[in-house]
Amino acid sequence: MEITAGGLLEVRITPADVGKRVSVRRVEAGLSGSPEFTDTVGVLTSWDQGVLLITKKNGQSVRIAESSLVAGKIVPPAPARRRGPAASFEELSRVAARAWQPLESEQLGGWTLRAAAGFTRRANSVLPLGDPGIPLDEALARVTAWYAERSLPAYVQVATGAAGTQEVLAAELERRGWASEVSAEVRIGALAPVGDVDAPAAGAVRLTRAPDEDWLGRYGKVSDLDLARRMLVEGPSVWFAALPGGRAVGRCVVDGRWAGFAAVTVDPAHRREGLATAVMAALARRALEEGASAAWLQVETDNPGARALYDGLGFATHHTYHHYRAAA
């Protein structure tokens, strides 16, 4: 922690340091009533209304009252690993879920029911990371009713290629007439090589904490602008990238060691100019500064252009997920 020449602890961070890796010490009353000190290291992801939110390397978010701070400083990012990351299915699924947060959710045993007024299937589907705690047919009936109450179709997001229990669930859904509508690969790779890519246009990329009109216009998958803005900014540490005129855009969520890329979109008139790579390189460099070392993304299986781009950047498929829709 920061210690002045006089031997006193000092807080040397401000709200302007949001997005940087910090180390802070806070004091709280212990069980005996005597003060106890707690240290936290991570990315300062927000500082609002007297409360700091710090995301640790393991993805855990810690809320700290500004009034409890006794010391704080900016610290260098952790060294980035150059080899590919190791990741369990559950770790990666939870990181991905935090990157596309719903407006509301409800637990059904180990299943999470998620809804966000229909904005993206990921935020409007069931994430089954365990047993629902009740027979499958009863669980599916509850799922269907829950989404019907919100005037939404019932989707269950199921993975293959990573977890045997998920594949069993996929087979059971198909047996009951649920249809797979969209499939996407979840890919992972080392982050540093993405940041090291020689993409001249990366220097022109503008990074912001919220999407502007150019960004939203290029992204295109928006009918309710207010809903999109509200949804897109949610996550541990979210960054938006755009080239002038909205020629190319992208989004990155930094969550502990992970950086998740999404919404990488290029103006059709400027494709094959390396602009998608430039956007990803700029976002990767920011994520590296925040201490991330591994990268993930999702790409639909029927998008050969994007898959080729990610092949070239060193991303390998970890597993594939499918959105199953309830039979009509």
Domain boundaries, the chain: 15-74, 89-183, 187-317
- 223: which residues sit within 8 A by CB, 6+ positions away? none
Lowest mean pLDDT among 80-94, 111-125, 230-244: 80-94
User: What pLDDT does residue 44 have?
Assistant: 83
pLDDT cut 90: percent of the chain above it? 61
User: What pLDDT does residue 1 have?
Assistant: 36
Domains 15-74 and 187-317 share a fold: no
Largest pairwise CA distance in the chain = 73
- 274: which residues sit within 8 A by CB, 6+ positions away? 199, 200, 201
Q: Quick one: which of 254, 201, 210 has its CA closest to 229?
A: 210
Instruction: Please give the average per-residue pLDDT across 75-85, as a whole number.
Output: 57
Q: pLDDT digit string (tens) for 227-264?
A: 888 999 999 999 999 999 889 999 999 999 999 999 99
Is the Cα dihedral 215, 216, 218, 221 positive or negative?
Answer: positive
Provide the H-helix boundaries in the chain. Answer: 89-99, 136-148, 164-175, 192-196, 213-219, 225-232, 275-289, 304-312
Q: Quick one: which of 192, 298, 306, 238 has its CA closest to 99?
A: 238
**pTM score > 0.85 for this model?**
no
Q: Are 275 and 202 in contact (CB under 8 A)?
A: no
Q: Are 64 and 54 in contact (CB under 8 A)?
A: yes
With a cut of 90, say whether residue 195 has pLDDT above it: yes
Distances (CA, A) of 227 to 62, 107, 118: 26, 23, 10
**Cα 20 from Cα 44, distance rounded (Å):** 6
At 77, the pLDDT band (50, 70, 90 cuts) reads low
Look-up: residue for tokens 């989004």?
Answer: 251
User: What pLDDT does residue 6 have?
Assistant: 39
User: What pLDDT does residue 3 have?
Assistant: 36
User: What pLDDT does residue 83 have?
Assistant: 45
What's the CATH code, domain 187-317? 3.40.630.30
What's the CATH code, domain 15-74? 2.30.30.520
With a cut of 90, say whether residue 106 has pLDDT above it: yes
Highest mean pLDDT among 17-26, 278-287, 300-309: 278-287
Q: Quick one: which of 212, 197, 188, 155 has its CA closest to 83?
A: 188
Q: For 13, phi and psi rounded to 5 degrees?
A: -125, 155
Two tokens, residue 311: 């092949």
Instruction: Please give the average per-residue pLDDT across 271-292, as a whole number.
Output: 94
User: What pLDDT does residue 73 have?
Assistant: 92
